[in-house]
Amino acid sequence: MSALTSYRVTWEQKGIDKSHTETCIVDSDDMTRPGDPEQRNGLLRKMLAIRYLPTGYAVPDNVVLQDVVPVCNCEPYPGQDCAFAYHGGERFYLTASSQPGYEVIRDHHREKVLGNVCHTLSVEFLTLVREKYGHQ
């Protein structure tokens, strides 16, 4: 199943100190390694080069990514508020667990527990959950 993810990308052309911010969409069908940020960034650089660089410079190596931020997919129209704006735009968050050495990953949408995670891995796991599921 194809998944489209929007990103707000700040970039500049190599050798030119002027940054631009654009919204780009990545289709999971274009990725052989879904969830791989390196492959995602390569697709974004290619897209930006083709769309914005002059002929002769339109190659991914001429695009320097400064910042790549997923755009909340619960924003049906540009400028409309995110359903999770009250929570800092985050659907998933960590809370303390009743088990020592663990933290709980919760979902603001249904206030349900996604799972207990060892505290040494909780932030990394939360980041993966946020990247994979966003605000779907």
Residue 78 domain-assigned (yes or no): no
Residue 8 falls inside a structural domain: yes
Same-domain status, 93 and 64: no
Rounded Cα–Cα distance for residues 49 and 53 (Å): 5
For residue 119, is pLDDT > 60? yes
The answer to whether position 50 is within a domain reads: yes
**Segments forming the whole domain that contains residue 89:** 85-133
Residue 27: per-residue pLDDT: 81
Number of domains in the chain: 2
**pLDDT of the residue at 43:** 94
Pick the range with the lowest mean pLDDT from 55-59, 96-100, 127-131: 127-131
At residue 78's C-alpha, the angle toward residues 76 and 79, to 5°, is 110
The pLDDT score that the predictor gives to residue 79 is 56
**Average pLDDT along the chain:** 82
- Residue of 55, 47, 58, 43 whose CA lies nearest to 13: 58
pLDDT of 14 higher than 90 = yes
Average pLDDT in the 99-123 region? 85
* Residue ranges in the chain assigned as alpha helix (H): 37-52, 122-133
pTM above 0.75, yes or no: no
Question: b/e per residue, 73-90, with b = 16+ CB within 10 A?
Answer: ebbeeeeeebebeeeebe
- Domain assignment present for residue 76? The answer is no
The span from the CA of 7 to the CA of 68, in Å, is 6
Give a yes or no: residue 75 inside a domain: no
Burial 8-40 (b: 16+ CB within 10 A, else e): ebebbbeeeeeeeeeebebeeeeeeeeeeeeeb
51: in domain: yes
Looking at this protein, which amino acid is placed at residue 8?
Answer: R
Q: If you average pLDDT over residues 76-105, what whole number do you get?
A: 75
